[in-house]
Each structure stands twice: as C-alpha cells, then as structure tokens.
C-alpha cells in the first residue's frame, strides 16, 4: 500500500485514519498537521497504542470518531489540566479531598458552569498502558477473558485489563467526585456570587 506509513514515521502526525492489518497498526494520512490536542467534553476515551516500543494515544469521541495523537495518554491528561488553568497534582489533591487517599483516583480535567469533565484511570494514572475514560462515556461493563469490556454511549466496546470490580469502584469514585463538585457549584450559586448583581450605594 503506497500511501501507508508505519507508526515509527508518524510522530507528530495528528490527522490520520486508523487501519489494522496482519502486520500490525498502520496509519494513512492525506495531510500531516502538527496541532496541540487537549481533552474536551467531546472526548470519551484515551487509549495507548504501542508499536515498536513507541506509545501514542487513540482518542475516541462521543460521536464514535477516532484518531491518533503522537503523545502518551498521561501527557495529554497532564497538558489538558494545565491548559484549563490547573495542574495534574492539583486535580489529584481535589480528588483526595472529596474521596480519600486512594490509588487510581478519577480527576477533574475542567468544568463548564457546573458541568464537570471527569476522567477515570483504569490503571496507575502515570502508567503508559493506562486507559482513560470520561465518566459520562460509560454505559455499562462486563467481565471478559482479558479483564473487562466497557460499553460506551456510542455503542463501542473497549477491552481493558481490569476486573469488573475495579471498574465499578472507579465509576463509583467518579460519581462521588462529581457530586462533590456539583455541591461546590451549588454553594457558589446559592451564596449569590453568580446570580446576584452587586448593589452600588449612591451618595
């Protein structure tokens, strides 16, 4: 296939169509673009792709569209937190305040007027093999030979090397964090910081 290029030649090509054949992961592109990618409310899953000792990220949107970014999943998460005005360390501290000092805590990437964008790690967050799921992307999950299959809102199914018990715990933690953040926003609104107009005293 003349237009095909192997993953070793990809970095940092970002606009690509993913194909799989018997030789492994192959990517094709009509246009190479170097862009910074950040998680958004359209992002459903970040999956690592490993070929020839190089790690990239397969991004799946809620629409079902997928593409590959020439960065590791954790780097995308870390840079997204920074882009939206926070840091990975700060989001972890926020999660610990809400949930407790557990491993693999879900984190807040950003929020939009009371609509938190929460992502869930399946393995250690800094692991190159970790898969990140948006809380709102998960519909259900069930056991498999590899560990567990996660069903997305767009109907796609993703296998992960974690047990259903682990996924259930992670989703539960993410919902606790979500409620914690919504309560904070409710406090902000109810105390008048958003809804009330400042009264200016006239002389």
Q: For every one of its 203 residues, what pLDDT tens digit does the chain have, with 9 covering 90 and above? A: 444 333 334 433 333 333 333 223 334 333 323 468 999 999 999 999 976 678 999 999 999 999 889 899 999 999 999 999 999 999 999 999 999 999 899 999 998 877 899 999 999 999 988 999 999 999 999 999 989 999 999 999 999 999 999 999 999 999 999 999 888 777 666 665 544 444 444 44
Structural domain includes residue 153: yes
Phi, psi of 9 (to 5 degrees): -100, 0
Structural domain includes residue 198: no
Sign of torsion over alpha carbons 35, 84, 93, 151: negative
CB neighbours (10 Å) of residue 73? 28
Residue 124 near residue 116 (C-beta atoms within 8 A): no
pLDDT of 188 reads 66
pLDDT of 157 reads 95
* Residues 58, 27: Cα–Cα separation, whole Å: 12
Residue 106 near residue 117 (C-beta atoms within 8 A): no
Structural domain includes residue 199: no
pLDDT of 51 reads 64
Structural domain includes residue 195: no
CB neighbours (10 Å) of residue 131? 22
* Residues 131, 161: Cα–Cα separation, whole Å: 9
Domain that holds residue 94: 4-190
Instruction: Report the domain count for the chain.
Output: 1
pLDDT of 170 reads 96
Structural domain includes residue 200: no
């Amino acid at each position: 296939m003349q237009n095909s290029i192997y993953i070793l030649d990809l970095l940092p090509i970002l606009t690509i169509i993913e194909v799989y054949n018997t030789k492994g992961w192959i990517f094709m592109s009509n246009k190479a673009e170097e862009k910074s990618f950040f998680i958004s409310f359209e992002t459903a899953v970040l999956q690592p792709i490993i070929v020839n000792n190089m790690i990239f990220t397969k991004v799946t949107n809620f629409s079902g569209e997928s593409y590959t970014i020439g960065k590791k999943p954790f780097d995308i998460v870390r840079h997204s937190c920074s882009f939206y005005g926070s840091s990975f360390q700060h989001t972890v501290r926020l999660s610990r305040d809400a949930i407790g000092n557990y491993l693999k805590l879900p984190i807040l990437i950003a929020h939009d007027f009371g609509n938190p964008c929460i992502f869930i790690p399946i393995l250690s967050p800094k692991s190159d093999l970790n898969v990140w799921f948006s809380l709102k992307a998960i519909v259900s999950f069930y056991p498999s030979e590899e560990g567990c299959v996660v069903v997305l809102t767009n109907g796609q199914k993703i296998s992960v090397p974690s047990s259903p018990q682990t996924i259930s715990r992670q989703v539960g933690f993410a919902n606790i964090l979500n409620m914690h953040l919504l309560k904070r926003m409710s406090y902000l609104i109810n105390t008048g910081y958003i809804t009330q107009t400042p009264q200016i005293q006239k002389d």
